[in-house]
Chains A and B, each alone.
Chain A
Amino acid sequence: MKSLHIVLLVLVACICSCSRRTADSDVYRIAAILPISGPNAAQGIGMMNSCKSAVRDINESGNLGNAKLELVELDDESKPDAAVRAAERAGQDPKVLAATAHWNSGPALATDPIFHRWGLANLVPAAIDSKITLEQPGDEIFRIDPSDLIILRYAAAFAGSVRGWKRVFVIDDNTLYGKDLASTFVADYSGLGGKVVGQDSIQVGDRDFSALLTRIKSVKPECIFFGGVVAEAALIKRQMRTVGLQADLLSLTGIFTKSFIEAAGPAAEGAYSATVVPPTARLPGGQQFLRSYARGRFNHPSEAWGIYGYASVQVLAEAIRRALPHPTRRAVINELKKGEFETVLGKMRFDDHGQTTLVTVFVYQVRNGEWVPLFQADGKGSLMAFKE
């Protein structure tokens, strides 16, 4: 009697495990590793919710047949060590076929080798450091937004060709990031025939730039290019007015926030930002994205980068679909390398380095206390007036 019980128990366990395996085999997972806590949590949560919306839409559409898509939500806290732990967890889960990871460049650079070791595709949704894709150890890393090199090429084109500034002064914030931006901009802008009339660095945390701006005033630049982020940019723009320096200010995504306008006050008017953040509501696919996001009834807005999260999941899901009926991590990478993908941002392919061919670079200006899109990249190195 006792042996009969044991046989029955083993039989039940086998049936359970078999049925579980059958059910599980129809589930494919995408890992989203984003800063849902820490200093950039607002952006990370908006992007995570956007990824969830995309997964829900894809499952409802039935594009994957009987298979279901699942999102594995992981937090990188904007820190490289937390990012590495999260990437390891994604890599260890055999059901995870691809990942979309990191808002910050530091964490993205740290996890390049992890994704390579696990042979797992990572479609970077936001980090812009060009080294993430250009210096990756294998072929697993892709990026859906333009890199800093691409943005700077258009920023230089804006300064030299669109606005026709002949004299630009370049300031950086003495960080690796700021110095990289400044040196690349100087090379690109000089290549277009512009003259850099001076270069200087400030210290992050300093608040008084009046002495520097007074000296800059004497060389009469038409524009100041700033390689840095919002806190110092706002102080510089405000103090430019205080010392009577009549010049424009151009910077990149680092200043493209409401905080810049609030911190610089009325002096923010006229500042330019070249950025990859799209005017979501005014893009062709933007309305579709926003409607989808609204259906999720999240208690947090999608934020500026949400559309990139949604588009990333669209691309990865399509790559998995094309790799059916037996999608593997390698098959997904191969599909990403060769195919064209339709997303809410537009159609895109990926080049030999994994960089998207869709150039979503926009130039905004502060007008009446709002960032207003003026120009967009044409994908060929020039800018054209922004079209709704």
Chain B
Amino acid sequence: MVQQAFNAVVLSSIYAIVALGFTLYFGTMNLVNFAHGDCCTLAAFLALLALPACSAVFGRESWVALGIAGLVAVLATIFLAALSERWLFRRLRGRAPLEGLIVSLGLAMLIREAILHFYPNGGNPQGFPDPFHNRSAEVLGVSVSVIQVMTVASALFAALAFYWVVQRTRFGRLMRALSQDPEAAQMVGLPVDLTILGSFALGGACAGVGGILSGALYGSIRFDMGISLGLKGFVCAVIGGLDNPAGAFLGAIILAGLETAIVGAAPGGSAYRDVAAYTVLLFLMIFRPTGLLSAIKVHA
């Protein structure tokens, strides 16, 4: 029971980091960015690409080499996310939300296929280094690995960092203003373009950290892992409220808890894991379409 609760916490940490990105895109630009999951994959593959060069300088599979490769990948993902805003999504601003969603689906496919065809042996799963070598220990009867603890710690750090950025910084105030009333924000001369660009950069950071943590936690990555990761992250964001970063965390805890309970408690339940999760989502969309913590008002 305690082990399963811990499993759920670890799973929810990955979901939360990914879901956070969705809330950023939606909060500032009303965009459901389905390329977010594939940006996670891209970040993980970029880290693998950077690793040989970092290992040559800092030693093979050393802490520093892995850390710097990860940092390079996260920075590259931030840059690419910002680039996608500047050259792609900015052109769609003011147009129907469906257009942005379709473009993001196209971008997702482009990233996925590029990895499949251009990364060496891209169709196969690639081993991803875990700096802690999957080391685990029994703590009070619960099997805990170092990378699991790091994953949970990263999610907590992301939660606190986001709280600080959104509540205590000028950029956070701009984000909130844009989220509440984009037209008014533009009329009073707030730097709308820069704020949206910053949100995309932060979304890219979430994708980078989420993809790399997922790779290190599960020890392998694959070109299509972003599909499931993105979909689960999106579901969490919808459960919590697409425009609310705190909702992303709540949604992640609910989804991961539900999945773990079904798989862990019911013999044969693993086959119905996704069915159960999406059924809950369906009901939620019927009875609370804006999500649990959303401030969005549904107009008749």
B263 to A215, Cβ gap below 8 A? yes
Q: Which residues of B contact A (CB under 8 A)?
A: 3-4, 7-8, 10-11, 14, 121, 123-127, 130, 133-134, 136, 138, 143, 145, 148, 214, 218-220, 222, 224-225, 227-229, 259-260, 263-265, 267-271, 273-274
> How far is it, in angstroms, between the C-alpha of A185 and the C-alpha of B8 when the chains are bound?
32
Min distance, Cβ A23 to any Cβ of chain B, angstroms? 42
Nearest 3 pairs of A and B residues by beta carbon: A263-B220, A201-B271, A262-B127
Instruction: Map CB proximity to B onto A230-266 as digits: 1 under 8 Å, 0 otherwise.
Output: 1100110011011110000000000001010011111
20 CB < 8 A contacts A-B: A199-B268, A200-B267, A200-B269, A202-B270, A203-B274, A207-B228, A210-B7, A210-B10, A211-B11, A212-B263, A214-B264, A215-B4, A215-B264, A231-B222, A234-B125, A238-B220, A263-B126, A264-B127, A264-B219, A267-B219
Interface string of A218-235 (1 = CB under 8 A from B): 000000000000110011
Which of chain A's residues has its CB closest to B11's CB?
A: A208
Bound-complex Cα distance A39 to B115 (A) = 13
CB–CB B134/A266 < 8 A: yes
Contacts of B269 in A (CB 8 A): 200
Set of chain A residues within 8 Å of B274, measured between Cβ atoms: 203
- A199, B136: Cα distance in complex, Å: 27
B218, A208: Cβ atoms under 8 Å? Answer: yes
Apart from A207-B214, A214-B7, what are 11 other A-B pairs with CB-CB below 8 Å? Answer: A200-B267, A200-B271, A202-B270, A202-B271, A208-B14, A212-B264, A215-B267, A238-B218, A262-B220, A263-B127, A265-B130
Find the B residue at minimum CB distance from A262: B127
**A334 beta carbon closer than 8 Å to chain B:** no
Please classify the interface of chain A as helix (H, G, I), strand (E, B), loop, or mixed, using the class held by over half of its residues. Answer: helix
Q: Known: A199-B268, A231-B220, A267-B134. Contact between A262 and B263, CB under 8 A?
A: no
Choose among A241, A242, A244 the residue with the greatest number of B CB atoms under 10 Å from its CB: A242
How many Å lie between the Cα of A347 and that of B286 in the bound state? 66
Distance (whole angstroms) from the CB of B124 to the closest CB of chain A:
4
Interface hits, A182-206 → B, CB 8 Å: 198-203, 205-206
Collect the chain A residues with CB atoms within 8 Å of residue B3's CB: 214, 243
Report chain B residues within 8 Å CB of A259.
Answer: 121, 124-126
Residues on A lying within 8 angstroms of B by beta carbon are 39, 171, 174, 198-203, 205-212, 214-215, 230-231, 234-235, 238-239, 241-244, 257, 259, 262-267
A133 nearest CB across to chain B (Å): 28
CB atoms of B273 and A203 under 8 A apart: yes
Find the A residue at minimum CB distance from B128.
Answer: A263
Does more than half of chain B's interface fall in helix, strand or loop, or is it mixed? helix
B162 CB to closest chain A CB, in angstroms? 23
Contacts of B145 in A (CB 8 A): 242
Cβ of A209: which chain B residues have Cβ within 8 Å of it? 270
CA A318 to CA B49, docked complex, whole Å: 49
Q: Are B126 and A262 in contact, with the CB atoms below 8 A?
A: yes
Residues A211 and B220 in contact, CB atoms below 8 Å apart: no
Which residues of chain A are within 8 angstroms of B121 by Cβ–Cβ distance?
A: 259
Q: Which residues from chain A contact B222 at a C-beta distance below 8 Å?
A: 231
Q: Which residues of B have CB within 8 Å of A231?
A: 124-125, 220, 222
The residue in chain A whose Cβ has the minimal distance to the Cβ of B266 is A215
Chain A proximity of B85: nearest CB distance (Å): 28
Asked if residues B125 and A39 are in contact (CB atoms below 8 Å), the reply is no
Give the residues in chain A near B138, CB-CB below 8 Å. Answer: 244
Q: Are A243 and B143 in contact (CB under 8 A)?
A: yes
Least CB distance from B164 to A in Å reads: 29
A211 touches B125 (CB 8 A): no
Contact indicator B136/A242 (Cβ below 8 Å) = yes
* B229: chain A residues within 8 A (beta carbon): 207
A residues in contact with B259, CB < 8 Å: 211
Instruction: Tell me if A210 and B11 are in contact (CB < 8 A).
Output: yes
Whether A239 pairs with B270 at a CB distance below 8 angstroms is no
Task: Select one of A198, A202, A239, A243 contacting B267, CB under 8 A.
Answer: A198
Q: Inside 8 A of A264's CB, which chain B residues have their CB?
A: 127, 219-220
Q: Are A257 and B124 in contact (CB under 8 A)?
A: yes
Q: Kindly state the separation between the CA atoms of A263 and B273 in the bound complex, as whole angstroms.
A: 24
Q: Which residues of A contact B260 (CB under 8 A)?
A: 211
Complex-state Cα separation, A242 to B263, whole angstroms: 17
Assembly CA distance A211 to B274 (angstroms)? 14
Shortest beta-carbon distance, B226 to chain A, in Å?
A: 10
Q: Which residues of the other chain, B, contact A206 by a CB distance below 8 angstroms?
A: 228, 273
CB-CB under 8 A from B11, the residues of chain A are 208, 210-211
Q: A211-B7, A231-B125 are in contact. Are A238 and B263 (CB under 8 A)?
A: no
Closest Cβ of chain A to B286, distance in Å, is 25
* Residues of chain A contacted by B228 (CB below 8 angstroms): 205-207
Q: Is the CB of B219 within 8 A of A235?
A: yes
Q: A207-B214, A210-B10, A242-B148 are in contact. Are A234 and B219 (CB under 8 A)?
A: yes
Cross-chain contact A244 with B127 (CB below 8 angstroms)? no
Contacts of B268 in A (CB 8 A): 199-201
How distant is the Cα of A352 from the Cα of B259 in the complex, in angstroms?
49
Chain B residue, CB-CB nearest to A232? B125
Which B residues touch A215, using CB under 8 A? Answer: 4, 263-265, 267
Which of B8, B136, B148 contacts A241, CB < 8 Å? B136
Q: How far is the CA of A234 from the CA of B218 in the complex (A)?
A: 9
* Minimal Cβ-Cβ distance residue in A for B147: A242
Contact in complex: A174, B271 (CB < 8 Å): yes
Question: CA–CA, A198 to B143, complex, Å?
Answer: 22
The one of A202, A207, A211 in contact with B218, judged by C-beta atoms closer than 8 angstroms, is A207
CB-contact partner of A265 in B8, B14, B134, B271, under 8 A: B134
The interface residues of chain A lying within 8 Å CB-to-CB of B130 are 265
**Max chain A Cβ within 10 angstroms of own Cβ: one of B8, B219, B220, B269:** B219
CB distance from A386 to the nearest CB of B (A): 26
Chain A min CB distance to B50 (Å): 18
